[in-house]
Amino acid sequence: MKKIILTAAVALCTVGLFAQSAAPSGNSGLQSKKGEMYLPESGDWAISFEATPFLNYLGNFFTSSPTMNQAPVAGFLTSNMTIVGKYFVDEQTAYRGIVRIGFGSTSWTHLTAQDITTPTNPPAPTVNDKLSVSSHFIGLGAGMEKRKGKTRLQGYYGAELFFWISSGGNDSTMTYGNAQDITNFPGGANTYNFASASEGPTLSRTTSSKPGSIFGLSLQGFIGFEYFFMPKISVGAEYTWGINFWSQGQGSNTTEAVYTLIGAAGPSVNTVTTHTGGGSHFGVDTGVNSIFGNASSGSAALNITFHF
């Protein structure tokens, strides 16, 4: 009898120990055959990308069509110029960060005939008309993400705050090789018009154009899911809802113009600056995604995330 009781006790202890070692504790039970963890752990970092290019690449392995297959999409959270990262403080909580910092400057030069009173042979040297265009965009976002689930299919939710500043368009500056004066107008003033791609006399010409700067702010909640098809690599989709506000200041256009002032004896060259109006927007909607992507209502992010 004692042997039976002892044997039963040993068996129960063995089953109990096996159950404890087999039962998953948090994410510890989800491992690959090589012992790699599928789900993110405390201290992990992650970077997210749009999943569409990856789906396009993989999809074209299964077709002989010369036309590339398009990936299925659910809209986009971010544009290609946005960096999205996460830091996991534990297995169910992550801090999210989004950043886009961009500056650009481009210039075009056109050789224009030099304005002269008497034609020469050989012709007079050409001069340069130059257009310089610049723009900038600085956007930052931060938030917190909470996760649910103990399988490779994970749900998550949270909130984020964004702000951004941009040039509102392209700041343009034009410089000309020929001076604008009443001697060369009318009947001369060779100036290249970059907008119409033509050269000739002009009553006025633009020297600078600056749209108003934009400041924006968004507060949004998000909910989504992701599936870990490989250890620490997941695909998923995310929906958002929130508040979006932006304000654009006044812009300006400056031109050189030839006209006769009131009371003046004749025409003269004058610099004229006009202002363009600003504006603002406030909205509450699904699919806010306003700072780094399109704000189409009901859109979602289709993404692939790498954890390390």
The region of weakest confidence among 45-59, 197-211, 292-306 is 292-306
- Residues 284-288 have a mean pLDDT of 74
- Residues 120-144 have a mean pLDDT of 86
Q: What is the residue-averaged pLDDT of the chain?
A: 77
- Residues 168-192 have a mean pLDDT of 73
**Per-residue model confidence (pLDDT) at position 24:** 42
Q: Where residue 254 falls among pLDDT bands split at 50, 70, 90? A: very high
Is the CB of residue 201 less than 8 Å from the CB of residue 185?
yes
Dihedral in degrees, nearest 10, Cα atoms 79, 83, 89, 90: 50
Is the CB of residue 156 less than 8 Å from the CB of residue 224?
yes
Is the CB of residue 141 less than 8 Å from the CB of residue 291?
yes
Domain positions in the chain are 37-307
- Residues 152-163 have a mean pLDDT of 94
- Residues 46-66 have a mean pLDDT of 69
- Gap between the Cα atoms of 5 and 11, Å rounded: 10
Dihedral in degrees, nearest 10, Cα atoms 246, 249, 250, 252: -100
- Gap between the Cα atoms of 87 and 148, Å rounded: 16
Longest dimension (CA), the chain: 130
Say yes or no to pLDDT of 170 above 60. yes
- Residues 160-171 have a mean pLDDT of 88
The region of weakest confidence among 68-72, 76-80, 94-98, 171-175 is 76-80
Per-residue tokens: 58: 């993989």
Stronger pLDDT, 294 or 182, i.e. the higher one: 182
**Per-residue model confidence (pLDDT) at position 248:** 93
Q: State the Cα angle at 215 between 78 and 103, rounded to 5°.
A: 65
Say yes or no to pLDDT of 224 above 50. yes
**Per-residue model confidence (pLDDT) at position 62:** 65
- Residues 42-59 have a mean pLDDT of 77
**Per-residue model confidence (pLDDT) at position 262:** 74
The winner for highest mean pLDDT among 17-21, 71-75, 149-153 is 149-153
DSSP code string of 238-307: EEEEEEEEEEE--EEEEEEEEEPPTT-SS-EEEEEEEEE--EEEEEEEE---TTTS---TT-EEEEEEEE
Q: Where residue 59 falls among pLDDT bands split at 50, 70, 90? A: low
- Gap between the Cα atoms of 263 and 109, Å rounded: 39
Q: What is the pTM of this model?
A: 0.70
The winner for highest mean pLDDT among 56-65, 109-118, 281-290 is 109-118
Single-letter code of the amino acid located at 292: F
What is the DSSP-derived secondary structure letter of residue 37? Answer: B
The winner for highest mean pLDDT among 90-99, 186-195, 281-290 is 90-99
**Per-residue model confidence (pLDDT) at position 194:** 76
**Per-residue model confidence (pLDDT) at position 90:** 94
- Residues 214-228 have a mean pLDDT of 91
Within 8 A by CB and 6+ apart from 6, the residues are: none
Say yes or no to pLDDT of 219 above 50. yes
